[in-house]
Structure 1
Amino acid sequence: MPVIEMKHVTKDYGYGRGIFDVSFEIKKGEVFGFLGPNGAGKTTTIRHLMGFSKPHEGELSINGKDCWKAAAIIKYDVGYLPGELAFPKNMTGDQFIKFMAEERQITDMTHTEELKNIFELDTSEDIKEMSLGTKRKLAVVTAFMHNPSVLILDEPTSGLDPVMQERFIQFILNEKANGKTILLSSHIFSEVDATCDRIAIIKDGVVVSTIEANQLKQSTNKAFKIEFSSFQDYQTFLEDTKFTIPIKRPDQNQVKLNLTDEKMQQLFIELSGVKVNFISEIKFTLEDYFMDFYDRKKTVAAGEENLQHGLH
């Protein structure tokens, strides 16, 4: 039996907003990535899994329990890290941790102290005085302090500095090694790539693809960056080529394109008629696969460099 299961779940808020016929299942010990830009439907899906919202259609379960009907019971099995943080007013970090420990009937605080050490969390100050990064670390500690078997994480590293992001990824890999079942919702390619066994891509509330992470790593697709010797060579190539060119940089006389092994000969035939400064192969990545499902022109116009870190 899958640990987490969604069957044909729809929540229609009107005007094209919501999630539509979403289905997936997550096995015990698996890290499942849920990848999409903000507004694609990731948080709506998670809110239904946590029992915060009732679907119009479909079924959701965690450990065989209905997510809506058994929400109060399920929360003891689940470590939930929300994308948007909300804490009680006028509490210190210590008071909040004590409150959560009592709520979950935790008497041995050894694991909580271990988590505080891992994430270098000082819980003595008032929560309202904490930075966003410290609040995120407090949320991480309280999500995992009861050592849950299932983790549901919505944009978990948002607000963390790069060192803590890396530490969080290592923590997730350790949790995976301990047999935890994890749903990781993110728009950060590197985070998903480093941790996930399978990845679902969501667009406009619809799951448009689900793929094994190993399939991407073993892909025969290749990406190439080509810089031409002059703008004239750059233009000549674009006018004559039979390839689709997803990324063009006229200011640098560069293009980037994706192709399979069997198309390599055609590329070099075309390049024989122009002068180039260099050709560099770029490993086919999760980002490349993801962009096949989104409007590359619009996204690239927002800044290709941002895509190295995530879509905003």
Structure 2
Amino acid sequence: MSVIEVKHVTKDYGHGRGIFDVSFEINEGEAFGFLGPNGAGKSTTIRHLMGFSKADEGELSINGKDSWKSAANIKQDVGYLPGELAFPKGMTGDQFIEFMANARKITDMTRTEQLKELFKVDTSKEIKEMSLGTKRKLAVVTAFMHNPKILILDEPTSGLDPVMQERFIQFILKEKSEGKTILLSSHIFTEVDATCDRIAIIKNGVVVSTVESNELKQSTNKSFKIEFASFEDYQKFIENTEFTIPTKRPEQNQVKLSLTDQKMQEFFTELSKVKVNFISEIKFTLEDYFMDFYDRKKTVAAGEENLRYGLH
């Protein structure tokens, strides 16, 4: 059963900005990753899904309710964590929590206190005096305090330190194990890879691929790093191989290349003609798959530093 549906949604802001014919659906109990750099269209899609904006074309719904027409009702069903945080002025963290509890008619604050303890957040201060990380943790507490069955998380760990990022991932895995339906928008490969069953990649407002997480982990594509015993062996291999070699390091007598299972025998036949120091397999990752759609050099040159590559 589809809990979240986005069907052929377009919002054109002009000059190539917006989202264009975006479609995906998320089944009950599924964790769905929405992956792309800042500005790709993730937050725009989520704002339409939450009913903050009206699409030019297409349909969006949560639990069968139209996102635009039933926005107020939908917010009661959903734990929403926005990418850009905004809080009422003049409130402490405790006052904001009380405000949200009253809005949701929460009388038992046990879960709220558990969340505050889990994420080590001091809610006694005025929100305007809090660091970005503390504000993010406050938003996490209020997003989950009513124990919603549907979670819509836009860049949820932005501003959190590595310890809290990992704690958040473990928390999401626990929520997932309890059957929650999750949409997680992020530019961080590790948190998407660790939590999501399916992943959509968005580029320039267009969904360019949707893939099962298990398919990536069981990919028949393999990458290898080879170090040759000498420069002569390195050169001999380079000059005679039938394989494309995207990475060459002559100063280290090393190459990196990718191939499928069908080419393995041919690969090792070629290697038998030279001497090598070592061969190591490099695990195919979500990052590798992503970069099939985003040219790495152009992406870095464009200043999209927030896309975390984890390059070696």
Q: TM-score, normalised by structure 1?
A: 0.91
* Equivalence map 1:1-312=2 (5 Å): 1-229=1-229, 234=234, 237-249=237-249, 252-299=252-299, 306-308=308-310
Between 224-233 and 97-106, the greater mean CA deviation after superposition: 224-233
Cα pair 1:246 1:297 within 8 Å, conserved? no
> What is the CA distance between 1:103 and its match in structure 2?
2.0
The 1:13–1:237 alpha-carbon spacing in structure 2 relative to 1, beyond 3 Å, is farther
Q: Distance in 1 between matches of 2:43 and 2:51?
A: 12
How many residues end up aligned between the 2 structures? 308
Q: Distance in 2 between matches of 1:306 and 1:229?
A: 34
The 1:296–1:253 alpha-carbon spacing in structure 2 relative to 1, beyond 3 Å, is farther
Q: Tell me the SS of whatever aligns to 1:75.
A: helix
Q: Distance in 2 between matches of 1:285 and 1:196?
A: 14
**Alignment deviations for residues 133-186 of structure 1 (CA, whole Å, 9 cap, x no partner):** 111100100111111111000111111111111111111111111111000011
Q: Tell me the SS of whatever aligns to 1:76.
A: helix
Q: Distance in 2 between matches of 1:144 and 1:243?
A: 51
> What is the CA distance between 1:55 and its match in structure 2?
0.8
Between 265-274 and 169-178, the greater mean CA deviation after superposition: 265-274
> What is the CA distance between 1:213 and its match in structure 2?
1.1
Cα pair 1:247 1:300 within 8 Å, conserved? no
Cα pair 2:188 2:308 within 8 Å, conserved? no
Q: Tell me the SS of whatever aligns to 1:48.
A: helix
Q: Distance in 2 between matches of 1:146 and 1:164?
A: 21
Q: Distance in 2 between matches of 1:250 and 1:151?
A: 49
> What is the CA distance between 1:299 and its match in structure 2?
4.4
The 1:253–1:84 alpha-carbon spacing in structure 2 relative to 1, beyond 3 Å, is farther
**Identity across matched positions, percent:** 81
Cα pair 1:227 1:279 within 8 Å, conserved? yes
Between 224-233 and 178-187, the greater mean CA deviation after superposition: 224-233
Q: CA RMSD of the aligned region, Å? A: 2.2
Unaligned regions of 5+ residues in structure 1, if any?
A: none
The 1:122–1:3 alpha-carbon spacing in structure 2 relative to 1, beyond 3 Å, is same
Unaligned regions of 5+ residues in structure 2, if any?
A: none
Q: Distance in 2 between matches of 1:242 and 1:14?
A: 46
> What is the CA distance between 1:235 and its match in structure 2?
5.3
Cα pair 2:6 2:22 within 8 Å, conserved? yes
Between 135-144 and 285-294, the greater mean CA deviation after superposition: 285-294
Cα pair 1:93 1:125 within 8 Å, conserved? yes
Q: Distance in 1 between matches of 2:128 and 2:75?
A: 26
Q: Distance in 1 between matches of 2:21 and 2:308?
A: 31
Q: TM-score, normalised by structure 2?
A: 0.91
